[in-house]
Amino acid sequence: MMKINSARLGEIEVDPSDIYTFVDGIFGFPDQKNFVEVEFLEGSPLKLLQSIEEPSLAFIIIDPYLFNPDYSFQVSRDDMLALNAREPDDVRISVLVTIPEDPYNMTANLQGPLILSKKNKLARQVVNNDSRYNTKHKVLANPPSATAAAI
């Protein structure tokens, strides 16, 4: 185990074998390569993708199929080769989430998914060119109505 600092969680212990190396970094952060996925809200499908080197850099991520079961994304052969992955089951997909002041307006970036290799912990962010998806896809369908909240 090793200790790292997180601006959101303080000092945390992580297993070095759980560290993902983003070959090309994450869009906008090309120099940040090493991240670990940590649980930060017990029982939540949201996870924190925490930078190993930069305590203030962390992203909230989620499995897109949890809120959009019809999400369609084909991992290219080049991406599979870059991650040293052989089969589709060797990787999993996550997406970045933005949570504004009102969490019911939370959005996910379905246009820039993360491909994470389960076996060798290599990862990559790619562009999904499917025009059905954008960078601000609503995660929660409808906020509770004021009437329902009053009941």
pLDDT tens column, 11-43: 999 999 999 999 899 999 999 999 999 998 888
Q: Which CATH architecture has domain 2-150?
A: Roll (2.30)
Contact between 74 and 45 (Cβ < 8 Å): no
User: For the chain, what is the total number of helices (H) and then of strands (E)?
Assistant: 2, 11
The domain segmentation of the chain, as residue ranges, is 2-150
∠ Cα 45 34 71 (to 5°): 40
Distance from the Cα of residue 26 to its chain's centroid:
10
* Whether pTM exceeds 0.85: yes
Contact between 35 and 49 (Cβ < 8 Å): yes
Tell the burial category of 97 from Cβ atoms under 10 Å away from its Cβ (0-12, 13-18, 19+). Answer: buried
Encoded tokens for 141:
């369908």
pLDDT at 147: 47
Q: What is the pLDDT along the chain (151 residues), one digit of tens a residue?
A: 999 999 999 999 999 999 999 989 999 999 999 999 999 888 899 999 999 999 999 999 999 999 999 998 888 899 999 999 998 889 999 999 999 999 899 999 999 999 999 999 999 999 999 999 999 999 987 666 654 454 4
Pairing of β 19-22 and β 122-125? parallel
Tell the burial category of 57 from Cβ atoms under 10 Å away from its Cβ (0-12, 13-18, 19+). Answer: middle
